[in-house]
């Protein structure tokens, strides 16, 4: 299955949605959310850094790039037993999706990839949804991940096509889209979103949402990340993103991609419970939680399992169980290119 480009929305329409008076925008997004999702459920996810640091890419925001001096120290690929142990603890706390991230530019057909495939199978067999983010991959590699039982593959666009080259130079925007296209040759779902706070304009945010909303099928998951400023990276001194911008982005994503999960991802630790509640009202229905206070590395704080359970209980929300695998119809569509 390929990715079809279908322009259900024009950029001007998305900009009009984004600029809607805030309370009206939240109401519209909440109304759409209730048509497509159970508003009482939030999916709680755990992200495991299975291979940390020493990435050759130059993503200006990333603590794991080998080009920058940060507090993240390179570590080898984790053993399967370690990953399974973390996943078991997460499941016991109500987590239904475990995401495995490796600081690679691209997947290579070697013994390390074989070990990752083994991890995917083992954690999937625990009854959890498994997502991987491993960098660029070929269609053959995507099919191997599918055979291992992978539920989702994350490959964020990060920002708009227009702003992209100011943030990353070691790959281009088409590389991002091509990896999504390769995943769409399988029954693995797509997780793709972006990062707020990279020095982008509102037009850039609208352009990124336009690209995501023009992919058909839409990404099943759309992460909305808030930049964690990391000392030693080029974006270390970026200003904080106003909460209202976060809410506008979530609400706009909810309206233009109504069936997708919108994930309040990195940077959530900066938000109060009230601010998070507004994000949930605007259509966010997934969060990342942790056992160690970090989302991926020590540079990205993340609330803990118990604190998140307390917040969800306070708001009258419940943790969503793992989804049953939905096999996509085998149809032919126009590919990106």
**Positions marked active-site:** 55, 59, 62, 99, 131, 191, 263
Dist. CA 111–CA 123, nearest whole Å:
19
- Cα separation, 241 vs 49, in Å, equals 25
Separation CA 102–CA 210 (nearest Å): 28
Cβ contacts of residue 261 below 8 Å, gap of 6+? 37, 43, 220, 221, 222, 285, 286
Q: Residue 159 and residue 163: Cα distance in Å, rounded?
A: 6
**CA–CA separation, 179 and 126 (whole Å):** 27
Token reading at 318: 């419940």
């Amino acid at each position: 299955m390929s990715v079809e480009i279908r322009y259900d929305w024009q950029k001007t329409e998305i900009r009009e949605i984004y600029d809607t008076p805030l309370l009206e925008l939240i109401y519209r997004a909440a109304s759409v959310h209730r048509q497509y999702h159970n508003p009482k459920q939030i999916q709680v996810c755990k992200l495991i850094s299975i291979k940390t640091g020493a990435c050759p890419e130059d993503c200006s925001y990333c603590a794991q790039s080998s080009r920058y001096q940060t507090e993240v120290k390179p570590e080898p690929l984790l053993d399967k037993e370690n990953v399974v142990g973390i996943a078991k603890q997460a499941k016991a706390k109500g987590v239904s999706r475990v995401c495995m991230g490796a600081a690679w530019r691209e997947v290579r057909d070697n013994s390390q990839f074989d070990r990752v495939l083994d991890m995917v199978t083992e954690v999937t067999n625990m009854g959890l949804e498994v997502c991987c983010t491993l960098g660029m991959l070929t269609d053959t590699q995507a099919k191997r991940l599918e055979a291992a039982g992978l539920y989702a593959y994350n490959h964020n666009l990060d920002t708009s096509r227009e702003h992209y080259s100011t943030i990353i130079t070691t790959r281009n925007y088409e590389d991002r889209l091509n990896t999504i296209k390769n995943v769409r040759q399988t029954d693995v779902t797509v997780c793709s979103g972006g990062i707020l706070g990279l020095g982008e304009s509102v037009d850039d945010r609208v352009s990124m949402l336009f690209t995501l909303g023009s992919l058909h099928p839409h990404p099943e998951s759309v992460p909305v990340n808030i930049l964690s400023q990391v000392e030693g990276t080029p974006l270390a001194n970026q200003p904080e993103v106003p909460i209202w911008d976060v809410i506008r982005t979530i609400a706009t994503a909810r309206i233009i991609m109504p069936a997708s999960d919108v994930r309040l991802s990195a940077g959530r630790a900066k938000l109060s419970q009230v601010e998070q509640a507004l994000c949930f009202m605007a259509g966010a229905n997934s969060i990342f939680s942790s056992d160690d206070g970090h989302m991926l590395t020590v540079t990205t704080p993340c609330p803990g399992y118990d604190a998140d359970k307390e917040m969800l209980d306070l708001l009258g929300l419940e943790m969503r169980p793992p989804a049953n695998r939905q096999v996509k119809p085998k149809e032919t569509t126009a590919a990106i290119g």
